[in-house]
Amino acid sequence: MIKVTIDGVEIMVEPGTTILNAARQAGGDIVPPAMCYYSKLKGSGGKCRTCLVKVSAGSEKDPRPMPKLVASCSTPVQDGMVVQNITSPEVLEARKGVVEFLLINHPLDCPVCDQAGECHLQDLGFQHGSAKTRYEEERRQFDKIDIGDKIQLHMTRCILCYRCVYTADQITNQRVHGVLKRGDASEISTYIENVIENDFSGNVIDVCPVGALTDKTFRFKSRVWFVKPMNAHRDCNKCSGKVAIWMHGEEVYRVTGRKDKYGEVEEFICNDCRFEKKQKSDWVIEGPREVERWSVIGQNKYAVGTKVTAPQNIGYGNIID
């Protein structure tokens, strides 16, 4: 085991662990936000720069600081490394810049977006963003592409994190979509407009950190904070059948994977469970689901004992500055 210190907290980890995962082992405020890294997807990370941290000492053997901020999701720890996350004004300033970049083209359509309330960019903007924009140019526009009857693509909201591409590559057995073109013309698209039809394609909805990929069967039905998540399961011959069902009274409004406090699904689920089983009688309901993430969705404390820390704006990103 090797020792890394993040924001003054000493953590012992296996060699090869990234700074982000070392911070996750300790938990709390020292964990950098991550918009593209997803622990269940190989090769994810390194795209969004949200997780930048400062390495103020490289290792015990060579304690020189690293000259630039590094992406914590793809930088392995060294023995004796000292890292600063929210204790570094430089990191907070850089993160504020990253949020500004991510929001350059992202439309502010949260009032009509199904992802509102559980959107990582909303949370990031709240914690690290600024209430003002300096951007005066026109935002990107894309031709609308229909990717099937279950998944809605809003390309203008995409932050090009590549998670959905890795999901399609690694969880399904046929990927028909990817990132086409380059630079600010880059877009998620299906090759010659094939629809994404595969038993596990619905998982792209769960991994998308923003509202670029949403569930057409849930579209505009309710704000997520009005529906109540319950752990439920069924016998399924394609996946584990362990899901979260989102109830409105006696009705099942949507079905998703069960997400942990970092917003990552515990297990990927199949499209039958997600899109076809919308009757309460389809499921064995285990009980209310604890929502540990601090986000609007975590605010109603659905179960006794749920620990949800109120969201707060960190340092430099004061929303009224």
- The reply to whether 152 sits near ligand FES by the rule CB under 6 A is no
Point out which residues pair with 190 in neighbouring strands: 177
Both tokens assigned to 119: 């959107």
Among 23, 55, 159, 168, binds ligand SF4 (CB under 6 A): 159
Q: Residue 194: count other Cβ atoms within 10 Å of its Cβ.
A: 13
DSSP sequence for 188-225: EEEGGG----STTTTHHHHH-SSTTEEETTTTTT--GG
Question: Going residue by residue from 255 to 294, which x/- string records binding to ligand FES, judged by CB under 6 A?
Answer: ----------------------------------------
Q: How many residues of this chain bind ligand SF4 (CB under 6 A)?
A: 14
Nearer to ligand FES by Cβ, of 72 and 198: the residue is 72
- The reply to whether 2 sits near ligand SF4 by the rule CB under 6 A is no
Give the footprint of ligand SF4 on residues 166-225 (CB under 6 A): 188, 207-210, 212-213
Nearer to ligand FES by Cβ, of 9 and 70: the residue is 70
Stretch (H or E) spanning 57: strand 52-57
Q: Pick one of ligand FES, ligand SF4, none as the site partner of residue 218 (Cβ within 5 to 8 A by kind).
A: none
Q: Pick one of ligand SF4, ligand FES, none as the site partner of residue 37 (Cβ within 5 to 8 A by kind).
A: ligand FES
Q: How many residues of this chain bind ligand FES (CB under 6 A)?
A: 13
| Choices 34-42, 104-112, 135-143, 165-173 (CB under 6 A): range interacting with ligand FES | 34-42
> What's the DSSP call for residue 156?
G
Rounded to the nearest 10°, the torsion over CA 157, 161, 162, 167 is -90
Stretch (H or E) spanning 125: helix 120-128
| Choices 158-166, 231-239, 276-284, 308-316 (CB under 6 A): range interacting with ligand SF4 | 158-166
Question: Going residue by residue from 15 to 54, which x/- string records binding to ligand SF4, judged by CB under 6 A?
Answer: ----------------------------------------
Give the footprint of ligand FES on residues 46-65 (CB under 6 A): 46-51
